[in-house]
Structure 1
């Protein structure tokens, strides 16, 4: 079984902000999900494909190992296409580094150690390109639900810190460039660059003291939507509950809420809906395990009728004299499914302008959201220009 660091790079956004959470999480078992397993499969394929593009494995070895990975549940054309895009990206970055530094080299799936600043701290960098002046870190993200930003990203910075400690004796490194490669979000590439001086100052003045608190389970809890999202203790954390419950004690004095007051409540309550869902999950799992929870019980939910055996249904209807063609409806598969089955590039090349993206429905979002503001007057003018 792989060893997990208490203060991992992947969880840094959590334990750096909410230092006691690292030890609190130890009371709960490690879990996985279909998305995590899919991501692991994609990373394995990306590493193999990148090694092939870089000439580290032969074509025969690549095809044999890829065929083995293809037997897995998650492999499909879209995943291979993403792996190819990643491999090309890494190869191009490597060539660019070697043009300015003859001895530059690339390493994949590298264990980096940043325990100088974080006790027992280590992680695995997807891709590290080592060269004079600029050290580059590339992190592959297969998820498409949330865009991951490189700017100020503590996971990337800890990888950069570990890589710098590993390779700084080989080259004269002035800065570190960190890139998130997230191909399923329209090939999004988010990059950030920081000087070695700034990185080491961040590590010494911010990371080191907070890591000491986190390792001992000390410091202040700092629950928030982002911090709590993947915390294993999120459903039972008292600090999170207290923060959310306090909102109900802050009702305005007036009999009617103003839009400004409603907006302020929405901003404070960003985590409440997720918190209530987590509480439902906790109570439901407790009841299903056979333990009582006062005031609650599990009941049978609504279900829809269905055919017990579709083949036998068709035969029975045909025997009754119905035309088989009337039993089926013809429906085009979704664009997402088509791209997954045949590959995004192949579908785009075949369909071209037949693929359109209508304007999205106006959606409420916090002011800090990176998407541009929707302006009704501009939409009205656009309609007149058609």
Structure 2
């Protein structure tokens, strides 16, 4: 059995939007990174802490974790505490709910060879709960909302859990939660069993059939972010190069409608451009020549060859080689722990207003007052 599913739940956001991308990516090796390994390490720690709290015989993995640190420990403990709270809540519907940690979930009834691993599955009468831990800081992950529906990865996991346990319990609702402590994000979306199965039959299954054989239409969008062929995908290039259709010569300046159209695509264009540059550099370093381009050494800054020797010499000369500054809020919170941090420093922390940023109207943040608003009062 392969370690990763061809049509994985974690990549479902992409292949549901762009079915043929799955086959294009299938034979390209995954790129590992320290961030991915950090996530893997913390998942292992999370599983250990939860199972230990449940009284199960487990081995402490800490000494074998590459990126273990105090922050990871705090994140994992917060996850454990949340899971234990949810188990207690489940007992309102069922005296003895089943709790599965790192549970293999098979949803191949709808997706060919479809399976994944659920971080935590709590099965009880009335409600089936799926909890997924996210260690990343860069991207805020949502479990879903009423406007856009549920997170497809979580919904695939929920289908797998229903297949395994649905006949054993009287389940009516599925509660899906993303637990992302580095972003202070606990996102929960609840869907009825009937609605989930309807989505699986009418959306997931037919799209998965297309994706499995490499058919369907290519489509570019925000789902391209983690696609393995995002740098060379022709559909993504066409999507971004549509901006060239604007006539920049007449009139001499763009009007507000044109500016709005460009704003809707500029972030994706910048991302696409950076992906092209990164891909081209990797290819050039392996011997590919691009007409009109060459590899040169980039700018660099001076560095000390031996910092300990530098410090010693400066001290001997009667100077202090070190600068002293207060720990950052994140580092201070990690050192003290969130509870102690709040107790000691809660009244000494404030959050200044963020720098004005132009975003689509669909963004959930409230709009700031503008000069027009001020004058209209």
TM-score (normalised: structure 2) = 0.92
For 1:47-126, what aligned pairs fall within 5 Å after superposition?
A: 47-57=47-57, 65-66=59-60, 68-70=61-63, 72-126=65-119
In structure 2, do the counterparts of structure 1 residues 379 and 337 end up closer, same or farther at CA, with 3 Å as the change threshold? farther
- Could you tell me how far apart the structure 2 residues matched to 1:361 and 1:33 are? 31
- Could you tell me how far apart the structure 1 residues matched to 2:238 and 2:228 are? 18
- Could you tell me how far apart the structure 2 residues matched to 1:33 and 1:124 are? 20
Shift of 1:70: 4.4
For 1:246-261, what aligned pairs fall within 5 Å after superposition?
A: 246-251=242-247, 254-261=251-258
Other structure's SS at 2:80 match: helix
- Could you tell me how far apart the structure 2 residues matched to 1:379 and 1:257 are? 25
In structure 2, do the counterparts of structure 1 residues 145 and 379 end up closer, same or farther at CA, with 3 Å as the change threshold? farther
State the partner residue of 2:319: 324
Q: Which stretch shifts more, 281-290 or 305-314? A: 305-314
Shift of 1:28: 2.1
TM-score (normalised: structure 1) = 0.90
State the partner residue of 2:10: 10
State the partner residue of 2:137: 144
- Structure 1 runs not aligned, ≥5 long: 382-386
State the partner residue of 1:374: 368
State the partner residue of 2:153: 155
* Match 1:172 to one of 170, 175, 189: 170
For 1:298-317, what aligned pairs fall within 5 Å after superposition?
A: 298-317=295-314
Other structure's SS at 2:368 match: coil
Superimposed CA distance per residue, residues 191-216 of structure 1 (whole angstroms, 9 cap, x where no aligned partner)? 11111111111001111110000000
Superimposed CA distance per residue, residues 106-162 of structure 1 (whole angstroms, 9 cap, x where no aligned partner)? 111111111010000001111111011111111111112221111121001111111
Matched-pair contact (CA < 8 Å) for 2:74–2:334: no
- Structure 2 runs not aligned, ≥5 long: 145-149
CA RMSD in angstroms, aligned pairs only: 2.2
Shift of 1:349: 2.9
Shift of 1:290: 2.2
For 1:223-372, what aligned pairs fall within 5 Å after superposition?
A: 223-224=220-221, 226-251=222-247, 254-317=251-314, 322-325=317-320, 327-372=321-366
In structure 2, do the counterparts of structure 1 residues 318 and 31 end up closer, same or farther at CA, with 3 Å as the change threshold? closer
- Could you tell me how far apart the structure 2 residues matched to 1:242 and 1:28 are? 23
- Could you tell me how far apart the structure 2 residues matched to 1:50 and 1:31 are? 30
Shift of 1:338: 2.8
State the partner residue of 1:183: 181
Superimposed CA distance per residue, residues 219-266 of structure 1 (whole angstroms, 9 cap, x where no aligned partner)? 000111x21100011011111111111221133753321233212111
- Could you tell me how far apart the structure 2 residues matched to 1:124 and 1:45 are? 15
Matched-pair contact (CA < 8 Å) for 1:78–1:344: no
- Could you tell me how far apart the structure 2 residues matched to 1:180 and 1:368 are? 21
State the partner residue of 1:206: 203
1:219 aligns with 2:216: yes
Report the count of equivalent residues. 369
- Could you tell me how far apart the structure 2 residues matched to 1:284 and 1:47 are? 39
In structure 2, do the counterparts of structure 1 residues 69 and 314 end up closer, same or farther at CA, with 3 Å as the change threshold? closer
Shift of 1:369: 1.6
Matched-pair contact (CA < 8 Å) for 1:70–1:76: no
In structure 2, do the counterparts of structure 1 residues 289 and 10 end up closer, same or farther at CA, with 3 Å as the change threshold? same
- Could you tell me how far apart the structure 1 residues matched to 2:64 and 2:117 are? 25
In structure 2, do the counterparts of structure 1 residues 302 and 120 end up closer, same or farther at CA, with 3 Å as the change threshold? same
- Could you tell me how far apart the structure 1 residues matched to 2:289 and 2:371 are? 56
Matched-pair contact (CA < 8 Å) for 2:93–2:126: no
